[in-house]
Amino acid sequence: MRIVTSVVAMQRQARLWRRRGARVGFVPTMGYLHAGHLSLVREARRRVGRTGKVVVSIYVNPTQFGPKEDLSRYPRDFKRDCQLCRATGVDLIFAPSDAEMYPRRAEGLYSTYVVEEVLGQGMEGASRPTHFRGVTTVVAKLFNIVQPELAVFGAKDWQQAAIVKRMVTDLNFPLRIVVAPTIREPDGLAMSSRNKYLDAAQRAQATILSRAMARARSLLKGRTVTAGTLKAELRRFIVAATLARLDYVEFFEPETLLPAVKVRRGTHMALAVFFGKTRLIDNGSL
Ligand code: AMP
C-alpha cells in the first residue's frame, strides 16, 4: 500500500494507472476510520475488481468546518487508519497537508470554491451555513487529483451524497457516484468518528436517533401523516432522552430532497441531535 502526500505525485500515479487501463475507485474520508468507512472501501473494491485500484483519502478538510466547530479536536489516528486500510486491501492512501490542498490560503491566495445552490440550503446546510461549500470544494479538488472512475459515499450523510451527485452531473465530472448503506453499532447508533466524543451517559442515550426513526415508522404504519404532526410526535419522543437537544428533524423526497408535506412509506427522514457540544446525524427511509 502506497501513501502519497503530494498532489503532483497523486496525479502522476493516476495518469499511470489510467494509461495501464486500471479502474480506480475512490473513498474520500476525514480519517479516524471505522467499519462504516471500511464498508465503502469494500464496495469500491467490489466494483473495480481485483485488478483495479482503491484509493482512500484521509484529510480533515478545514473549509467544511464552521469557525465554532470541532476542527482542532477532530479525532485523528493516522497510524491506525493506515493499518485498517492495509488490512482492507486499499492500494493507496492520499493524505495531503493543508498547505498542499489550500496553498497560501491564510494569505488570501486561495480563492476558488464550488457551491451547489439548491440541495444544500436546508437541514445540514441551514445548521452549518458554510459546510457544504467546503465539502463540494474539497471533493471537486480530490476528484481532479485522484481522477477516479467511481467514488463511494455513505448514505449516513444523505444530503452530502445528493449534493455531490448533483455537482458531478452539473459540472460533468467523468465519474460515477455510488452510495453505500449506513453501518451501525449493534444497538442501532450509526457509526461516526464523532461518537468518540460521547461520554458513557450520552452514548447510552445516543440511540435516540435511530429509535426516533423506528418510532416514525411505527407511527406511520402504512398510513400518510402530515409532516407537522409527525415532527411534533418525534419532538415529544426525543425529549425523553434528557441529554439530547434536537437540532432538526425533516421529511423529504429521497432524490430531490424536496420537503414532504405528507409523510408516507418511502419518504426519507433525517435528524440532527446535540449531546453537549457533539452533534450527531442520522437518516433513513420510512
Ligand atoms: P467522514 O470521514 O465522516 O467524512 O466520512 C467519509 C465517508 O464515510 C462519507 O462518505 C460518509 O458518508 C461515510 N460514512 C461515515 N459514517 C458511515 C457509516 N456509519 N456507514 C457508512 N458510511 C459512513
- Closest C-alpha to 158, from 30, 270, 17, 78: 270
Give the ligand 1 atom nearest the CA of 160: 12
CA of 183 to the centre of ligand 1 (A): 9
Contact 38, 84 (CB under 8 A): yes
> What pLDDT does 222 receive?
84
> What pLDDT does 207 receive?
98
Pocket test residue of 59, 131, 136, 156 for ligand 1, highest count of atoms within 8 A of CB: 156
Residues near ligand 1 (Cβ within 6 A): 29-30, 36-37, 39-40, 153-154, 156-157, 182-183, 190-193
Query: How far is 178 from 59, CA to CA, in rounded Å?
Result: 20
CA of 193 to the centre of ligand 1 (A): 9
Give the ligand 1 atom nearest the CA of 31: 2
CA of 261 to the centre of ligand 1 (A): 29
Pocket test residue of 29, 33, 58 for ligand 1, highest count of atoms within 8 A of CB: 29
From the list 34, 37, 131, 268, the catalytic residue is 37
Pocket test residue of 26, 32, 40 for ligand 1, highest count of atoms within 8 A of CB: 40
Give the chain's radius of gyration (CA, Å).
19
> What pLDDT does 58 receive?
98
CA of 38 to the centre of ligand 1 (A): 9
Query: What is the residue with the minimal CA distance to atom 13 of ligand 1?
Result: 154
> Annotated catalytic, 131?
no
Half-sphere exposure of 245 (CA within 13 A, CB side): 6
3-state secondary structure labels for all residues of the chain: CEEECCHHHHHHHHHHHHHCCCCEEEEEECCCCCHHHHHHHHHHHHHHCCCCEEEEEECCCHHHCCCCCCCCCCCCCHHHHHHHHHHCCCCEEECCCHHHHCCCCCCCCCCCCCCCCCCCCCCHHHHCCCHHHHHHHHHHHHHHHHCCCEEEEEHHHHHHHHHHHHHHHHCCCCCEEEEECCCECCCCCECCHHHHHCCHHHHHHCCHHHHHHHHHHHHHCCCCEEHHHHHHHHHHHHHCCCCEEEEEEEEECCCCCCECCEECCCCEEEEEEEECCEEEEEEEEC
CA of 163 to the centre of ligand 1 (A): 15
Chunked into runs of 10 residues, the chain (286 residues) has average pLDDT values of 98 97 98 98 98 98 95 96 98 98 93 97 96 98 98 98 98 98 98 96 98 97 94 96 98 97 97 97 98
CA of 260 to the centre of ligand 1 (A): 25
Cell readout for 279 is: 452533534
Query: What is the residue with the minimal CA distance to atom 10 of ligand 1?
Result: 153
| Residue linked to cell 465503502 | 40
Give the ligand 1 atom nearest the CA of 191: 19
- Closest C-alpha to 93, from 143, 59, 144, 49: 59
Burial 22-42 (b: 16+ CB within 10 A, else e): bbbbbbbbbbbbbebbbbbbe
